[in-house]
Amino acid sequence: MSKKFLFILLIAALGVFSAAGQSDEMGSFLVGEFEGPTIITDMDMMPSMFNESPMLSAMVEAGDLPPVEERLPAHPLVIQPAHEIGQYGGQWRRGYTGPGDVWNARRIAGNDNLLFMDYTLNEIKPWVFESWEANDDFTQFTFSLREGHHWSDGTPFTADDIVFWFEELFLNEEFLPAPSTFLSVNGEFATLTKIDDLTVQYSFSAPYPLFLKVMATPSSNIASHARRGWNGHGGYAPAHYIKQFHPDFADEADLNAILEEGGYSNWVDLVKSKNDWARNPDLPTLAPWRVKLAPAENPVYVLERNPYYLGVDTEGNQLPYIDSIVLTLAEDLEVLNLRAIAGEYDMQSRHIDLQKLPLYLENAERGDYSIRLDPADYGANVLLFFGQTYSADAEIAGWLQNIDFRRAVSMGVDGGQVNETFLLGLGEARSVVPTAANPYYPGEEYETLYTAFDADAANQLLDDIGLSARDDEGFRLRSDNGERLTLTLTTPGASFVPYPKIAEMVANQLQGIGLNVIPEQLERSLWQSRIDNGEIQLSLWDNGGTEDVFLHYNNTWLWARPNYTDWMRSGGAIGEEPPPAIKEAMEIWVSGPALPPEERIEAGKRLWVLFAENVWQAGIVGSSPAVLGTRVVKNTMGNVPARQLANVLCMTPGCTLPETYFLRR
Amino acid sequence: MANREINGEGQPPVLTVNNLKTHFFTDEGTVKAVDGASFSAPAGKTVGIVGESGCGKSVTALSILRIVQKPGRIVDGEIILRRADDAEPVDLAKLDAEGGAIRAIRGGEIALVFQEPMTSFSPHYTIGNQIVETIRLHQDVGKAEARNRTIELLRMVGIPRPERRIDEYPFELSGGLRQRVMIAMALSCNPKILIADEPTTALDVTTQAQILDLLREIQARTQMSVIIITHDMGVIAEMADDVIVMYLGRVVESGPVDEIFHRAKHPYTQALLRSIPSIFAAPRSKLPTIAGSIPHPHNRPAGCPFHPRCAERMMGKCDVHIPRLRPVSRRQMASCFLYHEPDEAPIT
Amino acid sequence: MSKAKPPPTYESPFQSELDEATFATAAEERVSVATQWQLMWWRFRKHRLAMISAFVIIAFYLVALFADFLAYADPHKTEAFRSLIAPQPIHFFDEGRFSPHVFALVGKRDPRTFKRVYEPDPTQKVALRFFAEGYAYKFLGLFKTNRHLIGVEDGNAEELIFLLGTDQLGRDLWSRMMVACRLSLMIGLAGVALSLVLGVLLGGISGLYGGAIDTLIQRLIEILRSIPTIPLWMGLAAAMPRDWGVVQVYFAITVILSLIGWTDLARVVRGRFLALREEDFVLAAELAGVGQMRIILRHMAPSFLSHIIAATTLALPNMIISETALSFLGLGLRPPAVSWGVLLQDAQNIQTVAISPWLLSAAIPVVIVILAFNFLGDGLRDAADPYG
Amino acid sequence: MLAYAIRRFLLALLTIWAISVLAFAIIQLPPGDYVTAYIAQLASSGVDVTPEFAENLRQQYGLDSPVWVQYLKWMEQISRGNFGRSLEWRAPVLDMIGDRLWLTMAVSLSAVLFTWALALPIGIYSAVRQYSIADYIFTFIGFIGLAVPSFLLALILMYVGFRYFGANIGGLFSPEYQLADWSPGKVWDLIKHLPLPAIILGMAGAAQLIRIMRANLLDELRKPYVITARAKGMSEFRLILKYPVRAALNPFVSTLGYLFPFIISGSIIVALVLSLPTIGPLLLRALVSQDMFLAGTIVLFLGIMTVIGTFISDILLMWIDPRIRFERRE
């Protein structure tokens, strides 16, 4: 080899080195310390005087609204903002991409959980429920509501709203054919009893230690009306409002009239639509903001403060500080990002494209904003999963289910390259296990198990398992018919991470270990329906949400759908019994929630060990700000934490309490 | 000047064409559509230009009006138009084809009627609209006035119920009527000269006769001079006072109509005449035709253009030298070596 | 849209002169096909732009043919540490004597701006060589070789030369553009061929038989044209069988494009048929008892072949542009296939426009080819039919 | 004449029906249904999607019935003037289309006007001065729009607008007017935002019209009535405008009908890139998310507009071309 060529290799090597070196220091100046607001439970710190937004006091003077003292519960929820007491008023400008993007609003303005988590997602805090207690074997949970707590229309919020939801909606089979399993243990649903107007009690047939956490997690299916009411869940509902659309309460003729006039397909559709906080301006809510202009007919999507919101700051100023949130429609992500770059948004991480970071930094001054990165704390922003229920091609299915094959592929992918190219070197090559901060962290060795790029080891493994034969172009041959072994790497378009492009690189890398992998981009729904039909060979995705692996289903089991997951969830009734390793993992996952805390932690660790060992999902890169981790914050926006959890469970930025954000004048 | 003798009466002709050359410069070579045509049109008389199609007679007409389109161009010669006796005559060939001067003459002093009654009118406008337009182009009159004039004209050319017809579209009229309308339009500015290019070719025999009568009677009334272009000796016999016979862009013979018909000099003219059916001829006798056909304009023969088809050609003479138009009798001219010797050097 | 019209039934004065000289009159078209082609050629030559375009297009198809030879880097090889290299200047002279070379690059990511920056290292001259060795490929799909038009003395060209720079995945743009020509120019052909068949067939039938069939086909055309094309594309594209590879999808796309593309052509053909049916010579042939097929092939076909050729040439660029549009919608060709559409899709984001604009150069060949095809088509159509 | 109109009308009805079937079929073509699409979207925005979701949703929307049943249901609804609810937006389809339809018209119209302003002069010139240098130059200008991929052009112009002119990014209104109700100010604001899309869209369409104009004019210029007119002594300019151009305009009118869907289709991509609140992006999104009633209704609307358009252009044609008028009279 010539000197020149050596030199080039040297450059590449330096490149690798520097990139490896960079990822620690790379962008560190954009990553702050975790911080956030504190929920005050100490009665002594309860403010005695209360103030309200000028916008509301005007209405009070006009007599359209009772004074703030009457609107707030007897014991309001006291919150210590992250930095300072804020100023009232202003518009929080954001961008959204369309009807499907109502989660944009649900995440930032939907804090109406029965219980809540602090910003670290470790401590359970009161919220709608002022207090709670569980019996020793975690089968009975008693919650007490706040006295004088009102819906946004001024109607008192009582135990009946919870009972109504539970009995008339949740347990109504026509309305909810498949209710959330989070309210059941071993397939048996809880019973709900109303002790008095301000006290309810959930009882389970078996211990359910995780229940409190379920009720407190912002993403929970059964604890947030604003976030989950639209699909019939949410944990409670405004009985007085919903009843007029419920056949058991409403007059049939009126109901039919409404159905006909609105073009609803049935009463279920009607109630679910009416119970959709993000879209129905008339729906009473407990959340800090309520919808003023629904997205459909209007070019802009506007939320307005809830005058009856239960939260106040430590000086007794009723929250939220910001009067209204205005989301403007961007039909295309490029437009949305360009607007953010132009400084047209006050605070946004949703849809912000990490790959445009250089552009964001370039225009930060002009746009008067700053960039904050929130590296993920779950395992992988990009992982390669092997469809375990794929069956169309026996030979390929065989290899996908072969542990050594999976390990070889995992080692054949160079995460460092992906990190450098697509995550600007901000992440690191790692497996799917969560980061060290996570309670279920299985230990350092598993962070890189089978993920460190090692072509030789990979080739060796493949040769050993009987894929040694290659064709003239160096591609390995199938064992059945001697044809080239060709696998399809299927990726969905239009996600926060550019999976299709990453797939191109991964496919090219796998060529290095003699595997002919064809990247295939699919329209998102097509990709979904293939997963639902077990037609995926290889695919790229992330495992966000697995910070609490027992609380997250989708990204934990994507690779096992549909047959094995059906088997798991139906307790073996339908689907297909998985092979031992998967079976073990699934049993752990199902039983986990019922275990006492410390045992659950152990189970969780074991689960992650199984994941790392068996490589059903091969981690490629993780702990990067790729997903919801790039925040554009206008410099006039106050109380925005330097760093937050980029995390589905806490409905980022939900658990940093946007109601405490404010706009400086 | 030669033409003098032809129209002996002495008073100068309205239009004199001298050695007119109009060539078309195409990629495939130059086509000499008109190659040195000379003749003149006396006032109040009818000159007939006759020849097979492709002999350049139509281009001659267009050249006079200066509306020969690219790639055609007048390369040489003059077209003298004498206006009122005191006014200075103009050479149309020198005028700017787009200019106002010539536009005033077009349709004003020289009008054109041509062979395509079907398509000579735009189907998008009523005939009235198109005639009124002409009138108002050349005379400063109001709409209503012009309209009345138009109705008058239509009546004059024998259109029944002109006040209704005026608002009809060309395609609503029969060919004959349309040709009458055409003539009406030509006359709308009572021109000095009317050029009629195959005015009757597209019409059936009876209509032909009517149209020709119309033309004659109008001429008699307006005393304008008519140049009638046709391939039909019959029409010539009926209409023309003087005749110009053209072949391949050149005038091969010219003279008063009866001279041409009874004492034709040029073999081509004789051939043409022979090909007219005669009532005196023996029944069912085969009609004689001219041998061969017009050569392709690109390879026009050397020497006398007609010699390849000429029965009396003299080799070494006719195929080398180009004959010039010379007097052959007191009132008749022909370009043929039967009547004069070639100039010294062969001219090409 | 070349509109159908019967040959002129008149001969205007100055035309009767010129026709014999220059134009092919309806009469002449009939007499001989040969002179018709000759005359077409004469008229075609007049359209200078069309002439130039013809050469441009030939050149492009040559590139498509020898794409791999003209490329010097494996168009699929990704490399993070060659991501987004700007086009690299070539130095032709070294100490006064001709020896084309470039400077080796040292790259890293700037920790403040997060851009990848590359510094040329003047001490490291990389000499360019012609017919150098590079990645292996099949020359014209015939035999394996690794010779490329340009390369480097020794070592690997794709690590050293970046004439047009590289894309985000560190792939050489020049090489990708070369290879893209192949697919993009082919997709046009395949698609047009298909719509040609459909168009001529349906248009012919409709024009020939008229009556009910005609109305039916005309309705069909009207309906097809009434439906915005994008839903059609999306519906059909999404309905493609799942186990299809890039190549099959690529053909499917052409089918889809032609399913929509045929209507125009059909209308042209129908028009010509209707016009020709009235022609005496067809009537004559019919009276003479000539078989219908024969009439169509011997007598009618020649007289509208030229039109079809023109129409086809005009359909081609539409196919190419449609392909890029489909790719934009994520329905068209997909990686690993390399087409102009795919390259443009890669460039379709603001960071490209702002930070790596050289990726936009993928649009240049598209523009040139589209224009060339259009001018060529116009030239041909003018030539085929002086009446437009 | 009347008989003709009636026949024409009946045919139109038939076509519209066919379109409705086709529209529905197209939307049903992709595998999966709205729920799969929706779930995929939720999953990709980080929501934990459990199997219960799908079950509940399908039941809610009655998507479990076969396609033809859904079609009949749709038809039956439409017959009662109810075009159904958008599954994705959870709102009556008509409310959704409402404003966007007018904005679409505004954009399309301005695009068409620009196209004509560009294409007609060039077309006329390049016919009258065929093969002249200027002919080539103008034709080139006219065709460049066809050749440059509109989506790229749109993106670049948008970025340049932001970087160097501080223009609003995308959309048809400035932020301050987003929420305002219609007022002269808002209209003016709209007008100020129209040129960019109009130019991008218009450029793309110009080539076609130039071609038609040029071809027809070349044709007309050779007709004898032009010579008659010349022989009258008209000035060339007036002459050409009054006679051949007038005749060459017919094809424009006859293609008027297809213009609208053509522009919509053509505009979808550009509207997306420029984030215009028009029908295009709505349709595109509805198709991707298989929001069948919304997509179906839009496609149906466009179809109907085309049919109406062709009908109108037929009538117009009869109005501007007397010959047709008379044929039809018989």
Q: CATH number, domain at D134?
A: 1.10.3720.10
| pLDDT of residue C128 exceeding 60 | yes
Instruction: Point out the residue among B27, B56, B118 whose CB comes nearest to the CB of C17.
Output: B56
Question: How many interchain CB pairs under 8 A, B with C?
Answer: 53
Of D37, D64, D92, the residue at which a domain comes to its end is D92
Is D162's CB within 8 Å of A545's CB? no
Domain that holds residue D19: 2-92
CA of C45: which chain B residue's CA is closest? B27
| pLDDT of residue C154 exceeding 60 | yes
Number of domains composing chain D: 2
Q: Whole-angstrom Cα distance, residue C21 to residue B72? A: 11
How many other CB atoms are there within 10 angstroms of residue D72's CB atom?
12
The pLDDT value recorded for residue D22 is 81
Q: What would the mean pLDDT of D175-196 be, rounded to a whole number? A: 84
Of D92, D107, D127, the residue at which a domain comes to its end is D92
D156 close contact with C: CB closer than 8 A:
yes
Torsion, Cα of D141, D143, D144, D145 (10° steps): 110
Q: Which of B59, B112, B246 to mutate to test the interface with C (most CBs of C within 10 A)?
A: B59
Burial of B27 (0-12, 13-18, 19+ CB in 10 A): exposed
Are both D196 and D229 inside the same structural domain? yes
**Å from C14 to nearest chain D CA?**
9
Question: How many interchain CB pairs under 8 A, C with D?
Answer: 170
| A545 neighbourhood in chain D, CB within 8 Å | 46, 48
Over chain B (348 residues), the average pLDDT of each successive run of 10 is 44 85 80 85 88 82 87 88 78 84 87 78 88 89 91 89 89 85 87 87 81 87 88 86 89 89 88 74 66 68 83 82 85 86 60
Are both D149 and D220 inside the same structural domain? yes
Are both D151 and D258 inside the same structural domain? yes
Q: Whole-angstrom Cα distance, residue D156 to residue A210? A: 53
Are both D121 and D266 inside the same structural domain? yes
| B118 neighbourhood in chain C, CB within 8 Å | 9-10
**Residues contacting C344, CB < 8 A, separation 6+:** C324, C327, C328, C362, C363, C366, D149, D151, D152
Over chain A (665 residues), the average pLDDT of each successive run of 10 is 43 43 64 92 88 94 94 95 94 88 90 93 93 93 96 96 96 87 87 95 93 91 92 93 94 90 84 92 96 83 95 95 94 92 93 94 94 91 95 94 96 95 93 92 93 94 94 91 92 84 95 92 79 91 89 90 88 89 94 89 96 96 90 95 88 92 93
Torsion, Cα of A50, A56, A58, A60 (10° steps): -70
Is D15's CB within 8 Å of C49's CB? no
Is B137's CB within 8 Å of D323's CB? no
Is D207's CB within 8 Å of C239's CB? no
Q: Whole-angstrom Cα distance, residue B44 to residue B13? A: 9
Q: Is residue D330 part of a domain?
A: no
User: How do beta strands C116-139 and C97-109 pair?
Assistant: antiparallel
Are both D165 and D50 inside the same structural domain? no
Are B and A neighbours with ≥3 CB pairs closer than 8 A? no
Q: Is residue D144 part of a domain?
A: yes
Q: Is residue D140 part of a domain?
A: yes
**Å from C275 to nearest chain B CA?**
19
B partners (3+ CB pairs within 8 A) are: C, D
CA of D281: which chain A residue's CA is closest? A331
Are both D192 and D59 inside the same structural domain? no
Q: Whole-angstrom Cα distance, residue C216 to residue C206? A: 8
The pLDDT value recorded for residue A289 is 97
Interface of A with D in 484-543 (CB under 8 A): 492, 494-496, 523-529, 532
Q: At what angle do helices D250-273 and D93-128 cross, to 10 degrees?
A: 130
**Å from C363 to nearest chain A CA?**
19
Are both D66 and D112 inside the same structural domain? no
Are both D108 and D183 inside the same structural domain? yes
| B105 neighbourhood in chain D, CB within 8 Å | 233
Judge contact between C276 and C227, C-beta under 8 A.
no
| D290 neighbourhood in chain A, CB within 8 Å | 525
Are A and D neighbours with ≥3 CB pairs closer than 8 A? yes
The pLDDT value recorded for residue B345 is 53
B296 close contact with C: CB closer than 8 A:
yes
Is D232's CB within 8 Å of B106's CB? yes
Distance of CA C274 to the CA centre of its chain: 31
**Å from A521 to nearest chain C CA?**
7
User: How do beta strands A538-541 and A382-386 pair?
Assistant: antiparallel
Q: Is residue D243 part of a domain?
A: yes
Q: Which of C226, C321, C350 to mutate to test the interface with D (most CBs of D within 10 A)?
A: C226
| pLDDT of residue C70 exceeding 90 | yes
Interface of D with C in 78-107 (CB under 8 A): none
Is B69's CB within 8 Å of C14's CB? yes
| pLDDT of residue D86 exceeding 90 | no
| C350 neighbourhood in chain D, CB within 8 Å | 155, 159
Q: Which of D35, D36, D164, D182 to mutate to test the interface with A (most CBs of A within 10 A)?
A: D36
The strand order across the sheet containing B15-26 reads: B29-41, B15-26, B72-81, B90-91
B298 close contact with C: CB closer than 8 A:
yes
**Å from B197 to nearest chain D CA?**
12
Instruction: Point out the residue among A29, A392, A504 whose CB comes nearest to the CB of C169.
Output: A504
| D240 neighbourhood in chain B, CB within 8 Å | none
The pLDDT value recorded for residue A311 is 94
CA quadruple A33, A36, A38, A39: dihedral sign? negative
Residue of A103, A109, A78, A106 lying closest to A91 (CA atoms): A109
Over the stretch D283-321, which tens digit does the pLDDT of each residue have?
888 887 778 888 888 888 888 887 787 777 777 777 777
When pLDDT is cut at 50, 70 and 90, the band that residue C10 belongs to is very low
- When the pLDDT of each residue in chain C is averaged and rounded to a whole number, the result is 79
Q: Is residue D327 part of a domain?
A: no
Q: Which of A227, A377, A529, A542 to mutate to test the interface with D (most CBs of D within 10 A)?
A: A529
Are both D125 and D198 inside the same structural domain? yes
Q: For A140, list phi and psi in degrees, rounded to 5.
A: -130, 130
Of D92, D121, D148, the residue at which a domain comes to its end is D92
Q: Is residue D217 part of a domain?
A: yes
Burial of C96 (0-12, 13-18, 19+ CB in 10 A): exposed
The token duo for B348 is 């090409």
Are both D100 and D127 inside the same structural domain? yes
Q: What pTM, to 2 d.p., does this model score?
A: 0.84
Length of chain D: 330
| D61 neighbourhood in chain A, CB within 8 Å | 265, 269
| ipTM attached to this prediction | 0.81
Q: Is residue D329 part of a domain?
A: no
Instruction: Point out the residue among A99, A181, A553 whose CB comes nearest to the CB of D89.
Output: A99
Are both D300 and D157 inside the same structural domain? yes
Alpha helices in chain B (DSSP H): 2-6, 57-65, 100-105, 127-138, 143-156, 162-165, 175-187, 205-222, 233-239, 257-262, 267-274
Question: How many interchain CB pairs under 8 A, B with D?
Answer: 72
**Å from B144 to nearest chain C CA?**
33
Q: Which of C243, C334, C346 to mutate to test the interface with A (most CBs of A within 10 A)?
A: C334
